[in-house]
């Protein structure tokens, strides 16, 4: 009888220990879950870190000047503007949508393809090839206006910069004057920013241009980038 009672006692002791262990394990599991839940809540409540906001897009829409004809893409003025932006930790990315040989008519037909992506700042650099080909200024003006209208239709909040251009005197004084003025008129009529002359302090200066005398070399592009930045920085 004593042996039987002893056996029952031992069995009960083991049973009690087993239940206690299960309880402890269950408690640890619940604590782990609570800890994980707490950690998850803390992660969810973490504020967005400054400077981590989604980058806005600046599109340079132009011809060979924008594309960087004859220089490495990293030396073209849009890339140099991106370097400036990065150095200031500004949340903007530059898209170089330059195409060599592009006229305003070509830009008008190409603009919808470019606008498939979000655009926050639009820099319009077209017209130079129109001038060199002697295309009627009324047609150049009409095409540039159509591009501006299309960009605004896509995003009414977009900020637009128009790059002014000039043509050589050999195109005739009357044509050269009217060509220069058309960019000023478009900027004023549309209430957009104007770079008076994209190639200021570069155009016509041989050591800042390539052999063709038209396209800036790497040094010339640095000056062009500064011309752009003077206007662009106020919009960022």
Please list the active-site residues: 64, 212, 215
H or E element in which residue 138 lies: helix 137-154
Please enumerate, as own/partner, the contacts of 13-17 that have beta carbons within 8 Å and a separation of 24 or more: none
- CA–CA separation, 39 vs 21, rounded Å? 27
- CA–CA separation, 158 vs 199, rounded Å? 25
For helices 173-190 and 137-154, angle between their N-to-C axes, nearest 10 degrees = 20
* Residue 150 structure tokens: 């299309």
Q: Where are the beta strands (DSSP E) in 64-220?
A: 92-98, 121-125, 159-163, 193-195
* Residue 137 structure tokens: 């200024």
Q: Output phi, psi for 214, to 5 deg.
A: -115, -45
């Amino acid at each position: 009888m004593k042996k039987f009672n002893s056996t029952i006692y031992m069995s009960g002791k083991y049973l009690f220990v087993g239940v206690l262990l299960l309880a402890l394990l269950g408690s640890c599991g619940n604590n782990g879950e609570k800890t994980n839940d707490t950690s998850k809540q803390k992660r969810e409540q973490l504020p967005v870190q400054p400077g981590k906001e989604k980058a806005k897009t600046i599109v340079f829409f132009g011809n060979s000047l924008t594309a960087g004809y004859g220089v490495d893409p990293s030396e073209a003025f849009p890339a140099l503007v991106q370097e400036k932006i990065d150095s200031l930790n500004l949340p903007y990315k530059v898209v170089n949508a330059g195409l060599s040989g592009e006229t305003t008519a070509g830009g008008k037909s190409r603009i919808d393809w470019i606008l498939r992506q979000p655009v926050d700042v639009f820099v319009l650099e077209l017209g130079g090839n129109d001038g060199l080909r002697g295309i009627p200024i009324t047609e150049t003006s009409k095409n540039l206006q159509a591009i501006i209208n299309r960009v605004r239709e896509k995003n009414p909040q977009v900020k637009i910069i128009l790059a002014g251009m000039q043509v050589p005197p050999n195109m005739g004084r009357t044509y050269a004057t009217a060509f220069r003025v058309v960019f000023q008129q478009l900027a004023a009529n549309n209430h957009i920013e104007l770079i008076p002359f994209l190639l200021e302090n570069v155009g016509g200066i041989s050591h800042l241009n390539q052999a063709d005398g038209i396209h800036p070399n790497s040094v010339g592009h640095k000056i062009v980038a500064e011309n752009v930045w003077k206007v662009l920085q106020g919009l960022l």
